[in-house]
Amino acid sequence: MAVTRFAPSPTGYLHIGGLRTALYNYLWARKTNGVFRLRIEDTDTQRNNEDAMKAIINAFDWVGLNYDGVVEYQSQRMDIYKKYIQQLLDDGKAYYCYMSKEELDALREEQMANKQTPRYDGRYRDFTGTPPQGVEPVVRIKAPQEGKITFVDGVKSIMNINCDEVDDFVIARSNGFPTYNFVVAIDDALMGITDVIRGDDHLTNTTKQIIVYEALGFEIPKFYHVPMINNPQGKKLSKRDGAMDVMEYKNQGYLPEALLNFLVRLGWSNKDQEIFSMEEMLELFDPQNINKSASSYNQEKLLWLNAHYIKNISNERLSKELEFFDCYLEGHDKKEMILDLTKERAQTLVELKDTIANILNRPESYEEKGVNKFIKEDTAKFLDAYLKTLEETKESLHLACDYETVTKPFIEKFELKFPQLFQPIRIALTGGTQAPSVYDIMAILGYEEVNLRIRTALDKNFK
Ligand code: GLU
């Protein structure tokens, strides 16, 4: 039974890298009948942003990752952190350091000049003298000075960090506020987190957090550090590549299941399977199988997955999703037919909405290029004849196949080629030449509307 958490810092919107981390933690907790917690790491009050906090919760709601229990806010846990800082001071595992900023800068410069990695030199570690006047001290933890810090990362295997790479880092600033790595370790321990799955940009933090765990005798959780998501060029993902607010994916017409499916595969795989329902993700996901190398964001794949889900979810659900884009099909007597036809080709809900609007709304103009290409001198003549044929058979016209039945003999009789008839009809019905099957459109619109649109186009001479 894994207890996992997602712990975003609300300094910006939730982007897809964050959502992937959340998803992995969610899946692992749910798969093992464990617990998935949400913790907002809002101690950096200057960089926190109320909107970002709401955006994170909204994004969670949208994709349906439900967390257990209440949301924890680090800003509300200051007393707890201070208590543990005091405990470490009392136990001699942490100490006050009175070095001023100027002294620290001087030390850093000296170390850099000697080509050493800048690190605190431990000068107050065993200090027993009189503290200098007028300096508010920070609290530093006593990091081990010899040997190695070793932990097994579920993704990267054994990690060995030489103790000379870590110094006695600050756990409380001079204003008494605890630092990031300290509070994360305290929270994870107190929240009973057993498995920490997070981006590998946190690897160096993990070493520091382990030092805190050990100083306080807390049990160390399992860590899984997930490689980053890069752009197709192998560089850090930028906003333009897709590192945008998760809710922007909603605005762009992606379904949450497509995005989650996309994300689960960005960094994890199960043979060569690409499509994963939530049930399958829950059945198959194991953080042990997280990829060891960085993954590459692939927009085409996301679109492909989205198209798959648009095609496969129920029309009921699809029409609800379309309402977000001001496309209302509820109560439309041809709702099923409209969706069955249009969902076959749409890659996003925005595209789907546009295709539907293109069919349902009468054209306001006719695409010039199409008109020049397909509207010929004799077009009006055979469209007129075609309308007469439709009128004579209108009682039998309901489904796409009914239109086909009357159209085929008409084409033969007039010795027409398909585009000669279909493109003018497409233009008359939708204004352009890019639309699904003409038979389907006619079935959706019904005889009266087809007649009206073609007549209007003829009256206006396709202008
Ligand atoms: N708050 C950190 C972040 O947003 C995550 C910390 C963690 O997962 O340990 O990057």
Is the pLDDT score of 68 beyond 80? Answer: yes
Highest mean pLDDT range out of 157-166, 254-263, 413-422? Answer: 254-263
| Ligand 1 atom nearest residue 6's Cα | 8
Q: pLDDT value at position 201? A: 93
Q: pLDDT value at position 105? A: 94
| Ligand 1 atom nearest residue 18's Cα | 4
To which H or E segment does residue 251 belong? Answer: helix 246-251
Question: How buried is 97 (Cβ within 10 angstroms: 0-12 exposed, 13-18 middle, 19+ buried)?
Answer: buried
State in Å: Cα 278 to ligand 1 middle.
25
Residues facing 296 on adjacent strands = 230
Is the pLDDT score of 241 beyond 90? Answer: no
Tell me, yes or no, if the pTM score tops 0.85: yes
Query: Is 14 in contact with 47 (CB distance < 8 Å)?
Result: no
Question: How buried is 118 (Cβ within 10 angstroms: 0-12 exposed, 13-18 middle, 19+ buried)?
Answer: middle
Q: Which pair of tokens denotes residue 342? A: 């249009």
Is the pLDDT score of 47 beyond 80? Answer: no
Using DSSP's 3-state secondary structure scheme, residue 144 falls into coil
CA Rg value for the chain: 32
User: Rounded to a whole number, what is the largest CA-CA distance in the chain?
Assistant: 109
User: Using a 6 Å CB cutoff, which residues line ligand 1?
Assistant: 7-9, 41, 184, 198, 202
The residue whose CA is least distant from atom 6 of ligand 1 is 7
Predicted confidence band of residue 67 (pLDDT cuts 50, 70, 90): very high
Predicted confidence band of residue 378 (pLDDT cuts 50, 70, 90): very high
Query: Is 208 in contact with 142 (CB distance < 8 Å)?
Result: no
Q: What is the mean pLDDT of the chain?
A: 94
Residues facing 183 on adjacent strands = none
Tens of pLDDT, residue by residue over 289-313, are 999 999 999 999 999 999 999 999 9
Query: Is 153 in contact with 225 (CB distance < 8 Å)?
Result: yes
Residues listed for the chain: 463
DSSP structural state of residue 432: S
Tens of pLDDT, residue by residue over 163-203, are 989 999 999 999 999 999 999 999 999 999 999 999 999 99
| Ligand 1 atom nearest residue 205's Cα | 9
| Ligand 1 atom nearest residue 198's Cα | 8
State in Å: Cα 88 to ligand 1 middle.
24
State in Å: Cα 169 to ligand 1 middle.
19
State in Å: Cα 198 to ligand 1 middle.
7
CA 236 to chain centre: 16
Q: For the chain, list the domains and their CATH numbers.
A: 1-66+227-312 (3.40.50.620), 78-226 (3.40.50.620), 362-459 (1.10.10.350)
Pairing, β 94-97 against β 138-141 = antiparallel
Predicted confidence band of residue 435 (pLDDT cuts 50, 70, 90): confident
Contacts of 53 (CB under 8 A, 6+ apart): 10, 40, 42
Predicted confidence band of residue 13 (pLDDT cuts 50, 70, 90): confident
Amino acid at 52: A
Using DSSP's 3-state secondary structure scheme, residue 171 falls into strand
d(CA 261, CA 242): 16
State in Å: Cα 256 to ligand 1 middle.
23
Strands (E), 84-155: 94-97, 138-141, 148-153
State in Å: Cα 7 to ligand 1 middle.
5
Residue whose CB lies within 8 A of the most ligand 1 atoms, among 9, 37, 73, for a mutation test: 9
Alpha helices, DSSP H, located in 160-244:
180-190, 203-216
- Residue among 363, 290, 357, 295 at smallest CA distance from 328: 357
Q: In sequence order, what DSSP letters do the residues of 368-384 get, joined into one string? A: HHHHHHH--TTHHHHHH
Is the pLDDT score of 407 beyond 80? Answer: yes
Is the pLDDT score of 54 beyond 80? Answer: yes
Q: Which pair of tokens denotes residue 272? A: 């060569």
Instruction: Please state, as a whole number, how many other Cβ atoms lie within 10 Å of the Cβ of residue 332.
Output: 15
State in Å: Cα 184 to ligand 1 middle.
8
Alpha helices, DSSP H, located in 78-202:
78-90, 101-113, 180-190
